[in-house]
Structure formats: structure tokens, C-alpha cells
Structure 1
Amino acid sequence: MPLTFALDPSMTPALHDDILDLWTDTSNAGGAVGFVPPVTREEIRPSLVRQLAVMAEGRARLLIGYDEEHKVAATAFLTFNTDRMAAHWLWLYTVMVHPRHQGKGYGRDLMAAAADAARGCEGIEAIRLTCRGGHGLERFYASCGYKEVGRVPGAVRMADGDDRDEIVMLLPLG
């Protein structure tokens, strides 16, 4: 069953908690979303609060994917550039699909919905994202039309002796 997407949903306490749970579960399953497992909701909460503050300032939009039970199954934050010379593209952050939904094609659906949402933003011509090396994420994003446009070797330190590349990917929307 496909996901149902909502762009810029009203942020209720329940939605806040659902996103926090998604982020925690994704992180603890090894998802490359800014944390190294094990992690708690309380450790993630400040990052979510920062994302929501950027949204409240009008500098980001939230895309939520709901499963057939209308539970939060996926998210992505579309964040606008504040530099006017880079205002023609946006960043895609915190791209997550709940681990219980892995392998159902929801990641590809989320990426397509994010591209559609970006196309609806005035003046946006491309999406950029970064991903952590070592997970094969660059192959997934490439299968969604993104091209690798840069790589910073060893930019992400998972633990002492475990440095990963930061990979920059670009999707032109035209």
C-alpha cells in the first residue's frame, strides 16, 4: 500500500512525538540521519526542535509520509538557502523511512514526493543532499535521479577509527 504525503502539516504535539519516534527508531536501526546508535528520544529532541524552528521562520518545509494506518512512516525536510546566490536550489535533510517499512519502495516514493514538493517552490531548480558513505546510500539516491557532485573523504566520524565520506548529491528539477 503506498504512502500518503502531506506537505507542511500542522505541528501538533502528537506529530512532534511521532517524528521524534521515527527519528529515534531510524537512528537505532543504523539509519544515517545524524546520530550513531544507541540514541534516545531525549538526545534527538534538540535536533528536531532546531528543525522546527527553521520551519517556523519559513526557511524549511516538512514532508510527511503516512502509512495505511495513518502513522508517520517517512519524513524529509526541504530547507531553503539563505544566501541569495544559492536561492535557486534547496537542501533535503533528515530523509527517513521507518525501519518497519524498509523494502516496500517507500524511500523511492518519498524521494519522488520531495522532488514534486520542491518543484512547487518558486524559483527552485535543484535539490542537494548529503549522505554518509559506507551505507550504499549514494547508489539509492542515484537510482532516484541524483548525481554525485562532490565527496569529502573522512568528513563524518562515526567513532574513533571509523571515518566515512560525506557525499554531496544533486537532482536538477528541470
Structure 2
Amino acid sequence: MSLTFTLDPAVDFRLRDEILGLWAKVTNAGGSVGFVPPVTPEEIRPQLVRQLVTMTEGGSRLLVGKDEDGVVRATAFLTLNTHRLMRHWLWLYTVMVDPDLQGQGEGRALMAAAADAARSLDGIEAIRLTCRGGQGLEGFYERCGYKEVGRIPDAIRVAPGDDRDDIFMLLPLT
């Protein structure tokens, strides 16, 4: 399968619901995208609404990967910096690939599409993201060209007694 990526698709109820469903599916499969399983789309909805509001205000861009049937199977939010000294890089948030597609190259395709999207934006020279330690995600991002630039030990509390590092990764685009 090869996903087709679109930056800034029109957001309608179907797209919103597909993103919510994907977010819940990724979380419930153990993905570290801001929630801990079990979670329902309704529990995620307020976070997605905040992301969509940020989009309408011009603070972020949505990248969506759809399969041949037009179903959302991957997403990432490219969030712009508002601080005048940091406008040359952006954050990549909510990087998700349908668990059914993992291991098939679609994650790498999503990361390449995100880098291409960031390069298309005026003045963007780098992408930063964070990932949760303990899952090997930093290795995936390193294989996509990112470099670990910082780590805060035990910054993420998944559950009592289960603290994980918050790992900062950077991809220079120039």
C-alpha cells in the first residue's frame, strides 16, 4: 500500500471522525500520541478540537495520508512557532500511522512528506519533535534523519511507577 499525502486538506466531519478513530486506534495499540490506553475517540475529541482551532488561527498545518479508498491512515501536525526568535523551525506533533500499516514503510513516507511540507513553508529550517522514551521511537526517528538533541529523564508519567524520558529530536532541513 502506498499512502497519498495532502497538506492542509479540507476539514469536514468525515476527516475529523477518521482522525479521531485513527488516534484512538494508535493509542490503544500502544502508540505514544498523548494518551494512555484504553481511550475512546470521544476522550480524544477535545484535543483534536484544540488542534483544529490552532489550524484555523494559522498556527499549525495538518498533513494527512490516505489510502487508495480515501481513508485517513496517517497524520501529523506541523505547528509553527510564535516566538519571534524561533520562527525558523516548527514542531511536529501527533505523528500517527495506522498500526495495521506499521512495518511497511508508511511511517518513513509520512516523515518524508512532513519534511517536504516543512520545506515548502517560508523560512522553516528545521523540524523538532518529542517522543516518549521506553518504546524505541528515537531509533525510528534517527533512521528518518533526526538527531537526539535533548532528554528530560522521567518527564512523562504514563502510570504510577512508570515514568518515561521526554526525548527531543531535530531534523535540519537545510
What TM-score bracket applies, with the shorter chain setting the length?
A: over 0.9
TM-superposed deviation, 1:42: 1.2
Residue 25 of structure 1 corresponds to 25
Residue 90 of structure 1 corresponds to 90
TM-superposed deviation, 1:35: 0.4
Paired residues, what number?
174
TM-superposed deviation, 1:69: 1.8
Describe how 1:85-164 pairs up with structure 2 within 5 A: 85-164=85-164
Q: How far apart, CA to CA, are the structure 1 residues paired with 2:12 and 2:49?
A: 13
- Report the TM-score, using the length of structure 1 for normalisation: 0.99
Report whether the alignment pairs 1:61 with 2:61: yes
- Report the TM-score, using the length of structure 2 for normalisation: 0.99
TM-superposed deviation, 1:26: 0.4
Describe how 1:163-174 pairs up with structure 2 within 5 A: 163-174=163-174
Letter in structure 2 aligned against 1:80: L
Q: How far apart, CA to CA, are the structure 2 residues paired with 1:70 and 1:53?
A: 24
Q: How far apart, CA to CA, are the structure 1 residues paired with 2:106 and 2:70?
A: 14
TM-superposed deviation, 1:41: 1.0
Q: How far apart, CA to CA, are the structure 1 residues paired with 2:67 and 2:73?
A: 6
Q: How far apart, CA to CA, are the structure 1 residues paired with 2:71 and 2:27?
A: 18
Identify which range, 122-131 or 94-103, moves more after superposition: 94-103
TM-superposed deviation, 1:52: 0.3
Aligned structure 1 segments of 4 or more residues deviating by more than 2 angstroms: none
Describe how 1:7-18 pairs up with structure 2 within 5 A: 7-18=7-18
Q: How far apart, CA to CA, are the structure 1 residues paired with 2:70 and 2:104?
A: 16
Q: Which runs of 5+ in 2 are unaligned?
A: none
Residue 48 of structure 1 corresponds to 48
TM-superposed deviation, 1:47: 0.4
Q: How far apart, CA to CA, are the structure 1 residues paired with 2:138 and 2:68?
A: 28
Seq. identity, %: 69
Q: Deviations over 1:86-131 (max 9, x none)?
A: 0000000000001111111100000000000000000000000000
Q: CA RMSD in A?
A: 0.5
TM-superposed deviation, 1:66: 0.6
Q: How far apart, CA to CA, are the structure 1 residues paired with 2:111 and 2:51?
A: 19
